[in-house]
Amino acid sequence: MAILIDEKKRVIVQGITGREGMVRARLMLDYGTKLIGGVTPGRGGQVVHDLPVFDSVAEARRALGPIDASVIFVPAPKVKEAALEALHAGVPLLALIADRVPLYDVLEIVEVAAETGARFVGPNTVGVMSPDRAVLGMMGGAAETARTWFRAGPVGIASRSGGLSAAAGYYICRAGIGLSTVVHVGGDAVVGFTLRDAVEEFERDPETEIVVVIGEIGTSQEEQVAEAVVGGSVSKPVIAYIGGRAAQSGTRYSHAGAIIEGGRGTYQHKVEALRRAGIHVVEAFNDIARKVSELLGTRPKGERVHG
């Protein structure tokens, strides 16, 4: 299994006629994603990559049947409109790719998603990838590169960094270990699908044996992962790496979601919380794959890893 996306999920792209949407739709198709159509208002009736284009998500659903996920490739000021349209049409999972989406727009999307029982990844995300199955967004780059770099296996990755998501996956696979799913939750201060959400999803996935969390300074997402472990909703081994160790209060690191305000969101506070919860914290990024190998290597052959 995998979380969020696999080869059976029926996916559309909102903004498919735009330059980015068109390019990324091709990559998703090439990787094996079950892309069934696209939406661009005013472009209904066009065809992109042999896929039908519709004026609205509701129209696409009437013509195509159930839609499991929508990847939204539209400019930041249009993300709220596109996301709410998909949510009201009954799409249960969205990937919001754009960065700089206005905060109040994101909060409105959060509210409507809760009302409709839907989830969204992002904004400011490169997406989600389940190796050898499917990809949402632009995780892994070119399809052929993703096939070469990533393979299926027992490690789930939940990350606040798009670049480090792929890099961690690459080094884990290079060590001879595969991945169940890689989730970039997004780089903004408010995101729909958090690190804790991802870790708890991995807990329920029978194919995921170890979870890797790649965090950063700012927000309390990493502390929430620690709370999940302490509270018992996560029992599988968790390895964590936190970026921004040298950043001081008031420093902006990487992107909007990684800023320290006063004593909140500091590297030290996150690391202390994670270690108190029994999470394996590595101080160097290059130690992630080594720690994964170490934990997997301690089990008897054929026995699953337990926390």
Do the domain assignments include residue 14? yes
The domain that holds 288 is classified in CATH as: 3.40.50.261
164 and 303 both lie in a single domain: yes
Cα 225 to its chain centre, rounded Å, is 15
Read off the pLDDT of each residue in 41-45 and give the average, rounded to a whole number.
98
Identify whether 131 is part of a domain: no
Does 186 lie in the same domain as 40?
no
Mean pLDDT of 73-99: 98
Contacts of 227 by beta carbon, 8 Å cutoff, 6+ apart: 196, 277
Are residues 44 and 173 part of one domain? no
Pair 92, 158 in one domain: no
Q: How does pLDDT run across 170-220, given as a tens digit for each residue?
A: 999 999 999 999 999 999 999 999 999 999 999 999 999 999 999 999 999
Which of 49, 184, 255, 269 is the catalytic position? 255
Residue 199 CA, chain-centre distance (Å), reads: 11
pLDDT band at 299 (very low <50, low <70, confident <90, very high): very low
- Percent above pLDDT 90 for the chain: 85
Tell me the CATH number at 71.
3.40.50.720
Q: How many domains does the chain have?
A: 2
pLDDT above 90: residue 137: yes
CA distances in angstroms from 25 to 28, 118, 120, 167, 229, listed in the order given: 5, 22, 18, 22, 37
Is the domain of 256 the same as that of 304? yes
3 close to 201: Cβ distance less than 8 angstroms: yes
| 130 domain residue, yes or no | no
Which domain range does residue 170 map to?
150-307
Q: Give the model's pLDDT for residue 262.
A: 52
Q: How many CB atoms lie within 10 A of CB 195?
A: 26
The H-assigned helical ranges of the chain are 19-31, 57-64, 76-88, 103-116, 143-149, 162-174, 195-204, 221-231, 267-276, 287-297
Do 218 and 268 sit in the same domain of this protein?
yes
- 265/299 same-domain check: yes
Residue 255 falls in the annotated catalytic set? yes
